[in-house]
Structure 1
Amino acid sequence: MTRAIRRIAPPVQRAAWLTLGILALGLGGLGVALPVLPTTPFVLLAAFAFGKSAPGLQQRLERSALFGSAIADWRVNGAIAPRFKLLAVAMMAGVFALSLVLAVPLVVLAVQFVCMAAAAAFILSRPETGRPSPWRDRPCLEACPAPGASAGHLPSPSDQGEFRNAAKRF
């Protein structure tokens, strides 16, 4: 019975990731046309989900003219373009203002405010496009594997020296 479940689980998981990717990409596509729906988070989620289920779709999404640059900026720098930051924060403020106008209960407003403030703080803390994240420049700890090394292989001091010398040349 356990072996049968193990054989079934990976295809079921792939189907679940594929379904999530398709739904996220659909919502991201709608976000292109609808200003109240964010595009980038859904596209990033779709790329992640396709990576777990259909790598070909992930690569196609990463090469697309419409979404490829946002995915690349996020992967390389954890970056969000300034116009998307502004749009996201403006949309959150607009939704909160609409909630005030519609006289939403105070408890709902409080939860909404906390969630939106946390989301806005995260968005605004991300580096802008083309600027590397300060977290990427931190020195590697001694137990950190060298680039290209497997997780089980710790680099020797000579490996680290070669990496540092190569990095200086660039």
Structure 2
Amino acid sequence: MKYVLMTLGLIFAGIGFVGIVVPLLPTTPFLLLAAICFSRSSKKFNHWLVNTKIHDEYVESFKRDKGFTLKKKFKLLTSLYILMGISIFIIDNLYIRIT
């Protein structure tokens, strides 16, 4: 079970790190899952994850502020609206554009 949790933790951490670059992929939930998996499987990996700048920026601020700050919400919604706007111009179907 220990190795399964370590593998899942590495997968979730990898997805979380990719989520920093990809706008619609959430980062915080995957890093939280990775922290849970590492805390139950490996002290070494848990220490590594907790001491990364990414963990501090996303997970600790999420726990400390009890959610996303206004600045993070604004960044998230801005990137979401930009991607939705781009997709509206790419799609040729009028009904989808109206929706």
- Report TM bin, short chain: 0.5 to 0.7
Unpaired segments of 5 or more residues in structure 1?
1-10, 111-170
The one-letter code of the counterpart of 2:78 is A
Q: Identity across aligned pairs (percent)?
A: 22
1:40 matched to 2:28:
yes
Partner residue of 2:71? Answer: 83
CA distance in 1 between partners of 2:40 and 2:8 (Å): 10
The one-letter code of the counterpart of 2:74 is L
Report the secondary structure of 1:79's partner residue.
coil
Partner residue of 1:26? Answer: 14
Partner residue of 1:114? Answer: none
CA distance in 2 between partners of 1:24 and 1:15 (Å): 14
Flag the structure with more relative contact order, 1 or 2, with Cα contacts below 8 A and sequence separation at least 6: 2
1:93 matched to 2:81:
yes
Partner residue of 1:145? Answer: none
CA distance in 1 between partners of 2:86 and 2:8 (Å): 30
Q: In the alignment, is the contact (CA less than 8 A) between 1:43 and 1:67 conserved in 2?
A: yes
Q: How many residues align?
A: 96
CA distance in 1 between partners of 2:36 and 2:85 (Å): 33
Q: So what's the TM-score if we normalise by structure 2? A: 0.63
CA RMSD of aligned residues (A): 3.1
Partner residue of 2:39? Answer: 51
Bigger CA radius of gyration: 1
Structure-2 change in CA distance of 1:41 and 1:91 (3 Å): farther
Report the secondary structure of 1:56's partner residue.
helix
CA distance in 2 between partners of 1:16 and 1:91 (Å): 34
1:93 deviates by: 1.5
Q: So what's the TM-score if we normalise by structure 1? A: 0.43
1:35 deviates by: 4.9
Structure-2 change in CA distance of 1:67 and 1:102 (3 Å): same
Q: Going by fraction, where is helix more abundant, 1 or 2?
A: 2
1:21 deviates by: 1.8
**Deviations 1:59-87 (CA, angstroms, capped at 9, x unpaired):** 33122233224322323442323332222
The one-letter code of the counterpart of 1:23 is I
CA distance in 2 between partners of 1:42 and 1:60 (Å): 16
CA distance in 1 between partners of 2:76 and 2:92 (Å): 21
Structure-2 change in CA distance of 1:85 and 1:99 (3 Å): same
